[in-house]
Structures are given as structure tokens and as C-alpha cells.
Chain A
């Protein structure tokens, strides 16, 4: 297999770009609550990294990051380990399907040399990426617009969870921390879909978290905590599977860490100080721009596979357009978040104020004590 794998040559410029991808991905990840792979995976592909190596290196990066992050969630009581265990068993099946498809397409894609050798896998990853993330981004944007029109924000809809609950397909399992009952069959479907997407495009959280909230009826905080706990094991399994096939580029993983572990702290800080509507609006716009970026790259893959024909030198323009949109969305999103973070940081240092008003039966005395 090693004869087919072409690792990107990492010079200082490429290294800095990967660190920047990690930093922006980390900010978005901390802010949005997903893994940030929707930005980092295509970003690496735009730097010339083969799709499957980008996915493998990112899932490996996610494994270590989830290990650090899930400890914090567990301390806050947001992890339903029983639910995570059930999801994990089924998600492993999904990851296996994804790894098998990616490996097959990688071997059989293009003309088996140069960039075309991975065009099949790249096209497949790009199509799944664009489809799934379009659905997620449009749903989020619709929610934001709905609440902007003054419609009541009543939180996540429980219609789907109630529908499955009414079906009452045995065996039904009770999850104590999440305080919900879910049919094993529904769990299996959700787990396989999560594993498949994590293995294909490295964004399992985008299906896992909504599935837990909307389909299983799990509270949002527990869904996010459980997903991160699940990501730890799924990431480990994905990383081992891809490493076995020789697809993990440890250098990329390490460079991603350099940026992402700083970015994630800033993103999480941003969540504490920015209102939810703003978070959802920024997130959906960033994801949509990422989708556009990936769609722009598709014609080049189609040409490499022989489905369309145009001069090969046009590929660089498609790649440039794709790269431009990706970096524009990521950098703009990260700047918006960072602006809020910095202003909140400065404001927080000034918050030291207690107003003390003393009231006795016949005297009213007001004292203002401020320590700024």
C-alpha cells in the first residue's frame, strides 16, 4: 500500500498553514462544540494532502483532543457513559464501513498515479461532506431566522424523539444521566450513522449530537459531553484502523495540535460570553462557506476521474477558489469569535461591583461600593 501513499512535503510555510488550520479549527470547535474537522479536513486537502490522509490525521488528532476535553465534561456531570457505550459499539460498525469504502476508493481511484490516484476517495468525501453539512447549516440558519422573526425559542423540538418513544420498539433501554429511554434499534441506527460520518469525513459530532438531542431526547449539555466521550473511543478506533492501513501522517496531527489546543480554549471562552443566537448564526454561515469551498473543488476530482474534460491546468484555479472560500470563512468566523472573546476578556477584568443598600425601619442609607 505504501507505494500509493504520497505524503505532503512539510516546509515551514506548509507547517504554519497547518498550525493556522488547527488554530481556526480549534476556535470553531470550542465555539460550535463540534470537532472542527469540517474546516481542518478540507483545509489540509487544499494544501495538497490526500483526502484519506487528511481524514486519518484529523481523526487521530481528534482522539487525543477528546481525551483531554471529555475529562472536563465528565467533571461537570455531562457524560452518560452507558449511552456512550451503546453508541460506541454500533458506531464502530459505522467506522468500519467508512474505512472500507475510503480504502477501496483510494486503491481504485483515478489513474493510480499523481494526484489522480486519490481522486475517487476525494470526490466521495467531498460529496458526503457537502451534503451532510448543507443540511446541518441550513437547519441552523432556519432556526436563527425563525427566532429573529420573534418566534418563541422553545429549544430543540422533541417531535422525533416522541415519535420513536411512542413506537416503543423493544428492547427499550433507560439511560440514567440523560434521563431518557431509547429503543435499541433506534440507538443502533444513530450509532452506525455517527460512526460512518466520523470515519468518512471526521465530523461524527455533527450527526451524533443532533441524533442524541432530537432522536433520543437527551438534554443538550449531556449530548455534547457524551459525544466527546464517545469521540475519544471512536477517535482511538478510527486512528488505529487508519494507522493499520498506513494513512496517518503524525506530523500533520502534531501540527494541528499546536494550533487547535490554544484555539479550543478561546472558543470555549467565547461560548461563555456570547449569546446563543450569535453562536448559531456564525456557525451556520461558516459551515455553509465551507460547503461552497468543497463544492468548488469537485470539478477537478471529476476531471481526474475522467467524468468531465477540461485542461488540467484549470485544476489549480478550482483549488485556489476552494482554498480562498475555506480560509475566508474560517478566518472571518475566527475573527468574529476572537473579537467577542477579547472584548469580553477586557470587560471581565472590570467587573468588580457590589451595590449595598442598607434599610432600617426609619432610615434608608445607600452605599455604593465599587472596586474596579
Chain B
């Protein structure tokens, strides 16, 4: 099965290339234009969403819902077609859709003069008008892609191949794409299939929930993992929660539904989960304090490819790294023999369900880029915790690389990102925090006592005769002293409020 996503700007030849590739391969095609038409028939106002996204930086709840609906719709439609076999999709940013699914991501460009002439002909414009139109449109499209997918439409790292039709004919471009699409790297694998099925199922569930009158308007987060659908909802949407199972009742492929009430979400990325570990208890404790759902992401590093798989060599080799997801070999998990190693993910989820804190779980293979790929469009996390990673390495390497991983995610994701080692010091209250509270508190008392016992001398220093003699001393004192007071007292108040669970 091959999935080819061709992305380009307006009148850059994507329709021609799509048709040529379809003619050569016989694969079905699907275009952005067809998608828009279908969305329109379903009552999804994409035009208005585009205008709102392009013209402003608005973050209203209604707009966020429309964006969710659009993404769910496009993912469901693409998923429905891709799951049946080969597919060629042509659009603006199809290459950014279906993360984790094996697909050939094609970028396409064409000379500006050809684009201008084609646009002028298509829109009945003069060439100079068409040129300004294209300039504005290109800018708007880039903005739209950034708003919807949180990435640049022209970022070369998001493509597998970029074709310039200035120096290659459409026919040869199609031949090239066909040849590349037959490479093993672009064929479906069990992990890729699972990612596609999960995303298709989640998108269908989300669409149903958004469009059903009983649950429409609720702020729901939907995740799917091998037929298990996790829905989290904020406390104010509790009245609609009872309808969620009913709305998803006839959803094909859904094995189980978990609905969790949560004020916010915590993402925990780790290689293996152990529900009896101290770290698990810490995360659970924090989630209970915050009223948060915990979303588990099992990150499998490439060097953990199981025996029998194609060797990858060192971690710095090029080429796709397949995720060693649990393979049941066709044995379903209700079979007693079908015990599989999923890194403790399913048992951790079970405990989270028992505790009412389940936000779903997922396995991904790769580095920080794969984490970002999974969460970037939906990065509304109160906290991202990078747990124990690189378990096959020595302690110092493990610590360094875990810290590097956290830093890479932190730089690119607009959410607080910490390592599991920092969790206790930053968010939990233990012995160390109690000692800090007492120590800092004592220092604060001493500072305030000294200042208020010596008011006259201090005021004299700040604006009296001493100040008249040496004017720069007062600013120096203020500059050095005030941050110390703010830091010490700020730490005391922060710890004290943490002690009573207000943070």
C-alpha cells in the first residue's frame, strides 16, 4: 500500500502531477478541493475558519472548536480512503497530516511566471493582478498552515522529496514518485497501520462528538489506541459526559471507551511504565492535586528494535526506524497466551482508570521530533514530563540524553517541560521542600526584622544626607536587595501554597 501526499501552493502543478501519477499507477486520488466540497455539504464552514485564522490571531473557544472539527473531518476522510489501500492526496499541507503513518511526503514548486500565467487564465485576471493575488495568497496559505498545523508549509524537513517543475517534466516527476513509493520505507508496516487505524478511529469519534447535539459544544479531547478510545472533558462539561458512550455506541473498531473528567492534561513520556514505581505515584499525586488527566506516551528509542528486525546500526544512521510495537501475531489480547510486552503501558492505563485520571496512552518510536509530531497540533498540556529514557545506556549518558530530549521538546512546544527528576523539587512537597520552606522563611523574617528595626538609618541611606553625598549607592542597594527579597519570599509563598495544594 502506498500513500502519497503532494503539497504545493496554488497553480504549482499539483493537479497535473496527481493526475499523471494516477494515470500511471491506477491509484485513487483525493484533492483538497473535493475535501472542501464534502466539508461544505456536511455544514463545516472552512471558508470562515480560513478567514478567521488568516486575518487574526484569535483564540476564541468557538474558533478552536471549528479548527478541531476541520482537523477531525480531514483526518477521518483521509483515513477512510487510506485504510482501503493506495491513495494520492493533493493539497496544501497533506504532508503534515497523519503523523506516524508511512507516507511519501512530496513538496512541489513551479516557476513564478508559469504560476502567474496559469492563475491569470484560471481567474480571468491581468498578469500583474494575478502576481499580486498570488503573493497575498502564498502569504495567507503559509499563515493558515502555521495556525492549523503549527509548522511552516515550506519547511524542507517535513518532506521526503521536493520537486521543482522548472527542471523536471510532470511525467518524469510522476515516474520518480512512483519509483520512490515502491521502496520498502514507504510501504505499510504493522506500526504504520496501527497509527493509521488509531488516528482514523480518534477522528471518527471526535467528529461524532462534535456534531452530535448531545455533546456538541463540549471541550473534549479524544485519543485512540488499538481500539481503546480515551475522552477527557473539563468539570464544567460533566453533564454531557453520560452521553459520550451513547454517541460513540455504533463506532466500528471501538473496543472500549474511557471518559475522564479533568481540568487539564499532563503528558508523561517514558520508555517503560511501572504502576508500582515511585515516579508513577508522584505523577498520580500531582494529577490528583491538579485535577488533571495523565496521558502516557511510550517513547521507544530506535536502538531498542527487537531481535529479528532489520538492523539499524548506530543511532546516527540515516533511514526510517521502525517502531517495535507489540506484535500479537494475530492473537487477541483476551487469549491467555497472548501476553505481550507493551512496556507496561496497558497496566499503567488500568491503574489510571482506577484512579480516575486516565488521559489515554500511545506508543511512538523515535526522538523528540516524533513526540512533537504527535502532540504539536494539540499541545494544550499543563505539563510535559520526560521520564526515564534510554534505559539501555549508562547512568550519566541516560541523564544527559534525557535532559537533551527535554530541552529539545521545551524549545519547540509551548508548554512547561520537565524531567522526572525535577518533578519532586518543582511540583511536589516533600522533606526537601519542608526544609527549604523553613530555611527561606527564617531568612525572610530576619530580613524584615532588620529593615523595620532600622528604618531611620535605611531611609537616610536611601534619600537622606548619606544619599546626598553618594547618590549611586541607593540604586545599587535597591538593584541588589529587591530581587533577593522577591526571590526568598516568592519561594516561601510558593512552597507554602504548594503545601496546601494551591498551585
| Chain A to chain B contacts (Cβ below 8 Å), 27 pairs | A60-B482, A64-B487, A67-B487, A75-B417, A76-B415, A152-B62, A155-B59, A155-B63, A158-B56, A162-B55, A179-B146, A240-B475, A241-B475, A243-B462, A244-B472, A244-B474, A244-B475, A248-B474, A250-B451, A266-B502, A345-B501, A347-B235, A351-B262, A355-B242, A355-B257, A356-B353, A358-B255
Q: How far apart sit A262 and B52, CA to CA, in the bound complex (Å)?
A: 39
As a 0/1 sequence over residues 213 to 254 of chain B, the CB contacts with chain A under 8 angstroms (1 = contact) are: 000000000000000000000010000011011000100001
As a 0/1 sequence over residues 63 to 91 of chain A, the CB contacts with chain B under 8 angstroms (1 = contact) are: 11101100000011110000000000000
Q: Is the CB of A77 within 8 A of B415?
A: yes
Tell me the smallest distance from the CB of A19 to a CB of chain B, in Å. 11
Name which of B264, B415, B475 has the most chain A CB atoms within 10 A of its CB.
Answer: B475
Q: How far apart sit A254 and B241, CA to CA, in the bound complex (Å)?
A: 48
- Mark out the residues of chain A between 240 and 263 whose CB falls within 8 Å of any chain B CB in the assembled complex: 240-241, 243-244, 246-251, 253-254, 257-258, 261-262
Tell me the smallest distance from the CB of A22 to a CB of chain B, in Å. 11
- Mark out the residues of chain B between 406 and 462 whose CB falls within 8 Å of any chain A CB in the assembled complex: 410-411, 413-417, 447-448, 451-452, 455, 458-459, 462
- Interface of chain B: mostly helix, strand, loop or mixed: helix
- Mark out the residues of chain B between 24 and 39 whose CB falls within 8 Å of any chain A CB in the assembled complex: none
Q: How far apart sit A349 and B261, CA to CA, in the bound complex (Å)?
A: 12
Q: If A2-B467, A366-B245 touch, does A254 touch B474 (CB 8 Å cutoff)?
A: no
As a 0/1 sequence over residues 1 to 35 of chain A, the CB contacts with chain B under 8 angstroms (1 = contact) are: 11001010010000000000000000000000000
Q: Is the CB of A265 within 8 A of B493?
A: yes
Cross-chain contact of B355 among A154, A236, A241, A371 (Cβ < 8 A): A371
Q: Is the CB of A154 within 8 A of B415?
A: no
Please report B residues at the A interface, Cβ cutoff 8 Å.
52, 55-63, 146, 235, 241-242, 244-245, 249, 254-264, 288, 290-291, 352-358, 410-411, 413-417, 447-448, 451-452, 455, 458-459, 462-465, 467-468, 471-472, 474-475, 477-479, 481-483, 485-487, 489-490, 493-494, 497, 501-503
Q: If A158-B57, A246-B462 touch, does A356 touch B455 (CB 8 Å cutoff)?
A: no
Q: How far apart sit A2 and B260, CA to CA, in the bound complex (Å)?
A: 63
Additional pairs, 20, CB under 8 Å, beyond known A236-B479, A250-B462? A10-B455, A77-B411, A77-B415, A153-B61, A155-B63, A157-B56, A221-B414, A240-B475, A244-B472, A246-B471, A251-B455, A257-B486, A261-B493, A262-B493, A348-B291, A352-B356, A359-B249, A369-B353, A371-B354, A371-B355
Closest Cβ neighbor of B238 among chain A residues: A353
Q: How far apart sit A75 and B417, CA to CA, in the bound complex (Å)?
A: 8
Q: If A68-B486, A261-B490 touch, does A359 touch B255 (CB 8 Å cutoff)?
A: yes
Residue A114, interface by CB 8 Å: no
Q: Is the CB of A158 within 8 A of B245?
A: no
Name which of B57, B264, B356, B452 has the most chain A CB atoms within 10 A of its CB.
Answer: B57
Q: How far apart sit A323 and B444, CA to CA, in the bound complex (Å)?
A: 31
Cross-chain contact of B448 among A10, A254, A353 (Cβ < 8 A): A254
Name which of B241, B486, B489, B493 has the most chain A CB atoms within 10 A of its CB.
Answer: B486
Cross-chain contact of B452 among A236, A251, A269 (Cβ < 8 A): A251
- Mark out the residues of chain A between 298 and 332 whose CB falls within 8 Å of any chain B CB in the assembled complex: none
Residues on the B chain within 8 Å of A354, using CB: 258-261, 352-358
Name which of B241, B263, B468, B482 has the most chain A CB atoms within 10 A of its CB.
Answer: B482
Q: If A246-B462, A265-B503 touch, does A351 touch B486 (CB 8 Å cutoff)?
A: no
User: Which among A197-205, A212-220, A283-291 touches the partner chain?
Assistant: A212-220
Cross-chain contact of B463 among A2, A162, A253, A273 (Cβ < 8 A): A2
Residues on the A chain within 8 Å of B472, using CB: 244
Residues on the A chain within 8 Å of B483, using CB: 63-64, 67
As a 0/1 sequence over residues 151 to 179 of chain A, the CB contacts with chain B under 8 angstroms (1 = contact) are: 01111111000100000000000000001
Residue A362, interface by CB 8 Å: no
Which A-B residue pairs are the 8 nearest by beta carbons? A155-B58, A64-B486, A246-B463, A352-B356, A77-B414, A351-B291, A355-B259, A243-B475
Q: How far apart sit A135 and B245, CA to CA, in the bound complex (Å)?
A: 49
Residues on the A chain within 8 Å of B290, using CB: 348
Q: Is the CB of B451 within 8 A of A251?
A: yes
Q: How far apart sit A261 and B497, CA to CA, in the bound complex (Å)?
A: 11
Q: Is the CB of A261 within 8 A of B481?
A: no
Cross-chain contact of B465 among A2, A261, A366 (Cβ < 8 A): A2
Residues on the A chain within 8 Å of B357, using CB: 352, 354
Q: How far apart sit A155 and B57, CA to CA, in the bound complex (Å)?
A: 8
Q: How far apart sit A239 and B483, CA to CA, in the bound complex (Å)?
A: 11
Residues on the B chain within 8 Å of A369, using CB: 353-354, 356
Q: If A60-B478, A77-B415, A246-B467 touch, does A153 touch B355 (CB 8 Å cutoff)?
A: no
Tell me the smallest distance from the CB of B118 to a CB of chain A, in Å. 27
Cross-chain contact of A219 among B59, B451, B481 (Cβ < 8 A): B59
As a 0/1 sequence over residues 30 to 66 of chain A, the CB contacts with chain B under 8 angstroms (1 = contact) are: 0000000000000000000000000000001101110
Q: How far apart sit A358 and B490, CA to CA, in the bound complex (Å)?
A: 48
Q: How far apart sit A253 and B481, CA to CA, in the bound complex (Å)?
A: 11
Tell me the smallest distance from the CB of B143 to a CB of chain A, in Å. 8
Cross-chain contact of B482 among A2, A63, A155, A272 (Cβ < 8 A): A63
Q: How far apart sit A143 and B493, CA to CA, in the bound complex (Å)?
A: 35
Q: Is the CB of A154 within 8 A of B63?
A: yes
Q: Is the CB of B462 within 8 A of A249?
A: yes
Tell me the smallest distance from the CB of B249 to a CB of chain A, in Å. 8
Residues on the A chain within 8 Å of B245, using CB: 355, 357, 366
Q: Is the CB of A154 within 8 A of B60?
A: yes
Tell me the smallest distance from the CB of A87 to a CB of chain B, in Å. 18
As a 0/1 sequence over residues 171 to 215 of chain A, the CB contacts with chain B under 8 angstroms (1 = contact) are: 000000001000000000000000000000000000000000100
Cross-chain contact of A345 among B55, B258, B502 (Cβ < 8 A): B502
Q: Is the CB of A75 within 8 A of B416?
A: yes
Q: Is the CB of A353 within 8 A of B356?
A: yes
Cross-chain contact of B414 among A60, A78, A370 (Cβ < 8 A): A78
Q: How far apart sit A53 and B482, CA to CA, in the bound complex (Å)?
A: 16
Q: How far apart sit A213 and B56, CA to CA, in the bound complex (Å)?
A: 10
Residues on the B chain within 8 Å of A349, using CB: 291, 501
Q: Is the CB of A352 within 8 A of B482?
A: no
Tell me the smallest distance from the CB of A100 to a CB of chain B, in Å. 16
Closest Cβ neighbor of B456 among chain A residues: A7
Tell me the smallest distance from the CB of A214 to a CB of chain B, in Å. 10
Residues on the B chain within 8 Å of A217, using CB: 57
Q: How far apart sit A261 and B482, CA to CA, in the bound complex (Å)?
A: 13
Q: Is the CB of A250 within 8 A of B255?
A: no
Cross-chain contact of B486 among A67, A77, A353 (Cβ < 8 A): A67
Tell me the smallest distance from the CB of B47 to a CB of chain A, in Å. 15
Closest Cβ neighbor of B246 among chain A residues: A357
Tell me the smallest distance from the CB of B204 to a CB of chain A, in Å. 14
Residues on the B chain within 8 Å of A352, using CB: 288, 355-357
Q: How far apart sit A365 and B403, CA to CA, in the bound complex (Å)?
A: 43
Q: If A77-B415, A265-B494, A353-B260 touch, does A239 touch B56 (CB 8 Å cutoff)?
A: no
Tell me the smallest distance from the CB of A122 to a CB of chain B, in Å. 18
Tell me the smallest distance from the CB of B52 to a CB of chain A, in Å. 6
Closest Cβ neighbor of B417 among chain A residues: A75
Closest Cβ neighbor of A153 among chain B residues: B60
